[in-house]
Structure 1
């Protein structure tokens, strides 16, 4: 009988498991209920796919999105694994054909949407066939405390109870706090589960936050530096998606869009254009991504700040899934907080009428606190990687040396006097019965002559223009720091007007001091075009990418399904000369070596011939 290691090598082309994979695989094979929390790109799928190929019987994988199921099944077919899926977009005849094939042993993994679990036809099928394992993918969807709760996931417990024999259970997710992990265990009734969190760190991802005066100009600059690379730009609303996509197209940048307001046909077409590398840039709301297993995404740019850290890390984690260097950049402005608050309020107003009011308020308070933590990430001067990992309860060094903040030179300054100027401005406005947000307060302090300043006669305040030597951006940065330190507070029900706190009042009156770390200048970043190691021949790497695109087009699959960028990089470094050497390349399994190996070996050989050193001897 084959071993897990042999399955990993033969079907998936890897000679070793990644951190955490072996422990989870062995727990599943030992028959234990299992919960794995692994960051996006860490290889969760292999933790149940490898055991499924060793089990006698069928593995049912519960998955939330059609695109996710289709993507997984397509990749398994390319690896030579018999798999299928059931979803609502399939005609009944096709569904019954899949069930018949599965019943007669024609597939090892069957992907199913949670809505189908309690359908009579599927229940009848599930009671007849031997089910070795039920796997719950994106398991955080079962928790009301998760960022992406889906009521349909609650059908899983009913489905399991209806089976004649309870199979082993496994569940996997990328982002789950301690509370969500406990909720998953309880909701799935996992028995003495083996629970493993492999760590949330993604060392290949570079995190940075920018606070540009013009997001549009900043985005164009970032894309110009990444021309030809594949990336996603996330926006918080459909309208912003349309505006950003139109702007990019007007500037000659090949881009497409994705949001829930488009027709299903256009969403499908735009998604395929991105997956197949016909359109390198996708502009989308958070409706895009959970089902996307595209491995060669080189950057994810958030044009707006998400509502919580869970969503941000999951979306940012769609970059660099192949292990190559990738960028995760957040373009932040104070308006993002207002937009996020509006979306949170609207989502709770649209909640179910029968929801318990106390629970509804608890969920609303939770979402507001998550937004506060997300805003802290966007405004902190601490290491960004440390901030993320601390949020998920993971210890990490105070400085990673590889994020936007660690690459920024900060200076610690005595900000007491400047803080007193800001606090005094807020105080003097309040004495006139006026309360404004950070934009107007900063405008008063820097001596702006805008219409609102003259309309309310704010230029007659004693604090008008007392910080004219500073830029608006610098004053707003200072206001954000005062909010973070609890010296000011903003009222979301009054257009985020600023108010002094007791601590702020004390500092304004000369009690205490304030020291802050503020950015001074950026280090020059040294990043290669592809983020490749020195051992990789970039010219050969580009030739292999071109070959991959041709083969993918011929096979009708996305290029990354043929081989990931990481596999091509390893291939360009090793430059294998025969099938055995090719199988030593990470990510090349038996099925893909048989299907594509000869083409890649020929391309490498041709490249070596063309670049062989000239001996000076005649060939006659």
Structure 2
């Protein structure tokens, strides 16, 4: 394995995660690898492919991506080809003949190729022990770039190659996407390998300037020798921004789906070869671009979800050198993304899911928390994070509000309860809420019960989130735990400051179960969701996410009208699912509220 790495790819040792994935494949199990952009995902299937007898079949979404991979393998003396829709019939037959004769080590195809009977016949007669799904997030209906063709070929593939071994690799998979891929490809929990999405060399920033064009012009003028990508949401705005920069003597090329194939390829090549330093593009540009020295990515508009955003900024700094990732946006961008969702040819259920993702993108755009930690927690709720110290939130001059004493009270409660409380319970205890779930656990007798009773729920939540995002406490498995860094606060070694967050400093708020999730009711709602998911053969999150159920448990809506005020409840879910949850809430005896 190490000899192949050195001989064919020139590396002395594996990167983190690669060896574990390869060893799992060689042991005969299917595997899922979730590794950041630029971390060498392709090696995870190329090295086993070189060790197996026969041809490794690679499912890939884009012609340009396939061709780049094939060219790279050929330069290393490896027999590889791809099949795509632009090939002449004679060339196509030649590749399929080589497949059947066992002359190929790798064959790259798009999923749509499985609609072709000649291709399927060739696959039946070939020796194919191993199949790799590249960009595997395309398989999942909950992925940001779902392609039905990716998912629809899975039964066909299993019928054609019943004993084939499978690997799936991607850089972007939320926990629900990860679980969906596992289910579809029969991948066990112990065969999922993922590394942190954190990229310490990327400096993240959100800039709320209203003069976006002027900001970009000034930024570029200070770094004319650096390569960068500017992402824009529409073709018209790509053209408009390009003209603006050209008029100001900034050379650039453009890339979007409205250009001819030759012009797109020419412009891409000019950028990759450093003939032109700047490309202005829609999200059609970037997948498979092998350019390690991209020093900045600027988003002129707000993306529709964090997966897309992370994948796009992941194209910066692949040489591990510092690189900037800047997000610009206006309210008009939000309206545009909502328009895209409304016009999408998708079910109401899927549109609701897209709206939830857009809401999280908006939260990233507005958060005062560490941006790097925010992204890490989005992809893996249980990962321990520490503030990066270099993003626009961490460097904000607005961190003037002392929070040291409150932080100590929070950590002392976590220490006393030995890491047995969820974040929601910690907040309820600190606020002194006499909720039935608090009383039932005897938490109302805790020494620190009610020590923050003059704070609103949102205030205490802000403080707890600050501690999590800055690494002073760890929240995993829905439980809060102390870490070594916690001692700095408990032993009074540090002083902490946050952004101003309290609206009424001397107000004593009324405590009630309406302001935090009622955990007994929440457990009942989880059970209701599971029953509905089993009945309709859906993922549980397709009914409602955990966060929405927590909102139900907080607000205890009493009617469909009440439920419509809760983010993530669309018309489809209102009609098909909400009656079951309303019935559970009423049986629980909640009096209900209709606002937060």
Q: Tell me, in whole angstroms, the C-alpha distance in 1 between the residues paired with 2:73 and 2:114.
A: 22
Q: Tell me, in whole angstroms, the C-alpha distance in 1 between the residues paired with 2:126 and 2:244.
A: 54
1:185 corresponds to which residue?
182
Cα separation, partners in 2 of 1:299 and 1:79, compared to 1, 3 Å = farther
- Which of 120, 123, 127 aligns to 1:123? It is 120
- Which of 205, 222, 226 aligns to 1:208? It is 205
- Which of 231, 236, 252 aligns to 2:233? It is 236
Q: Tell me, in whole angstroms, the C-alpha distance in 2 between the residues paired with 1:38 and 1:507.
A: 42
Q: CA contact under 8 A between 1:118 and 1:158: conserved in structure 2?
A: no
Q: Tell me, in whole angstroms, the C-alpha distance in 2 between the residues paired with 1:402 and 1:177.
A: 25
1:410 corresponds to which residue?
398
Secondary structure of the structure 1 residue equivalent to 2:399 = strand
Which structure: larger Rg?
1
2:380 corresponds to which residue?
393
2:300 corresponds to which residue?
303
| CA-atom RMSD in angstroms | 2.4
* Counterpart check, 1:114 vs 2:111: yes
- Which of 313, 333, 336 aligns to 1:336? It is 333
Q: In the comparison of the two structures, how many residue pairs are matched?
A: 413
Unaligned 5+ runs, structure 1: 352-359, 415-480, 486-505, 514-620
Q: CA contact under 8 A between 1:301 and 1:331: conserved in structure 2?
A: yes
For residue 406 of structure 1, report the CA deviation from its aligned partner: 1.9
1:143 corresponds to which residue?
140
Indicate the larger mover: 166-175 or 204-213: 204-213
Q: CA contact under 8 A between 1:34 and 1:195: conserved in structure 2?
A: yes
* Counterpart check, 1:69 vs 2:69: no
Q: Tell me, in whole angstroms, the C-alpha distance in 2 between the residues paired with 1:408 and 1:305.
A: 21
Q: Tell me, in whole angstroms, the C-alpha distance in 2 between the residues paired with 1:75 and 1:210.
A: 38
For residue 51 of structure 1, report the CA deviation from its aligned partner: 0.9
Secondary structure of the structure 1 residue equivalent to 2:280 = strand
Cα separation, partners in 2 of 1:507 and 1:281, compared to 1, 3 Å = closer
1:83 corresponds to which residue?
80
Q: CA contact under 8 A between 2:200 and 2:388: conserved in structure 1?
A: no
For residue 511 of structure 1, report the CA deviation from its aligned partner: 5.4
Q: CA contact under 8 A between 2:138 and 2:145: conserved in structure 1?
A: yes
Q: CA contact under 8 A between 1:117 and 1:155: conserved in structure 2?
A: no
Q: Tell me, in whole angstroms, the C-alpha distance in 1 between the residues paired with 2:328 and 2:508.
A: 34
Unaligned 5+ runs, structure 2: 403-457, 463-501, 510-596
Indicate the larger mover: 290-299 or 166-175: 290-299
Q: Tell me, in whole angstroms, the C-alpha distance in 1 between the residues paired with 2:81 and 2:321.
A: 30
1:218 corresponds to which residue?
215
1:9 corresponds to which residue?
6
For residue 342 of structure 1, report the CA deviation from its aligned partner: 1.5
1:367 corresponds to which residue?
354
1:377 corresponds to which residue?
364
For residue 147 of structure 1, report the CA deviation from its aligned partner: 0.8
For residue 289 of structure 1, report the CA deviation from its aligned partner: 1.6
Q: What whole-Å deviation, never above 9, does each CA across 1:552-587 have from its counterpart, x for those lacking one?
A: xxxxxxxxxxxxxxxxxxxxxxxxxxxxxxxxxxxx
Secondary structure of the structure 2 residue equivalent to 1:328 = strand
Q: Tell me, in whole angstroms, the C-alpha distance in 1 between the residues paired with 2:237 and 2:37.
A: 26
2:130 corresponds to which residue?
133
- Which of 308, 313, 320 aligns to 2:317? It is 320
2:39 corresponds to which residue?
42
Tell me the TM-score normalised to structure 1 length: 0.63
1:519 corresponds to which residue?
none
Q: Tell me, in whole angstroms, the C-alpha distance in 1 between the residues paired with 2:59 and 2:33.
A: 15
Q: Counterparts in 2 of 1:420-459, with a 5 A limit?
A: none
- Which of 15, 18, 23 aligns to 2:15? It is 18
Cα separation, partners in 2 of 1:325 and 1:118, compared to 1, 3 Å = same
For residue 165 of structure 1, report the CA deviation from its aligned partner: 4.2
Secondary structure of the structure 1 residue equivalent to 2:29 = coil
Q: Tell me, in whole angstroms, the C-alpha distance in 2 between the residues paired with 1:130 and 1:192.
A: 28
Q: Tell me, in whole angstroms, the C-alpha distance in 1 between the residues paired with 2:312 and 2:161.
A: 39
> Which structure carries more relative contact order (alpha carbon 8 Å, separation 6+)?
1
Q: Tell me, in whole angstroms, the C-alpha distance in 2 between the residues paired with 1:187 and 1:379.
A: 36
For residue 190 of structure 1, report the CA deviation from its aligned partner: 3.7
Q: Tell me, in whole angstroms, the C-alpha distance in 2 between the residues paired with 1:509 and 1:389.
A: 32
Cα separation, partners in 2 of 1:192 and 1:302, compared to 1, 3 Å = closer
Q: Tell me, in whole angstroms, the C-alpha distance in 2 between the residues paired with 1:191 and 1:116.
A: 28
Q: Tell me, in whole angstroms, the C-alpha distance in 2 between the residues paired with 1:336 and 1:163.
A: 45
For residue 512 of structure 1, report the CA deviation from its aligned partner: 6.7
For residue 6 of structure 1, report the CA deviation from its aligned partner: 0.8
Q: CA contact under 8 A between 2:135 and 2:169: conserved in structure 1?
A: yes
Q: Counterparts in 2 of 1:490-505, with a 5 A limit?
A: none
Q: Tell me, in whole angstroms, the C-alpha distance in 2 between the residues paired with 1:211 and 1:105.
A: 57
Q: Tell me, in whole angstroms, the C-alpha distance in 2 between the residues paired with 1:46 and 1:183.
A: 24
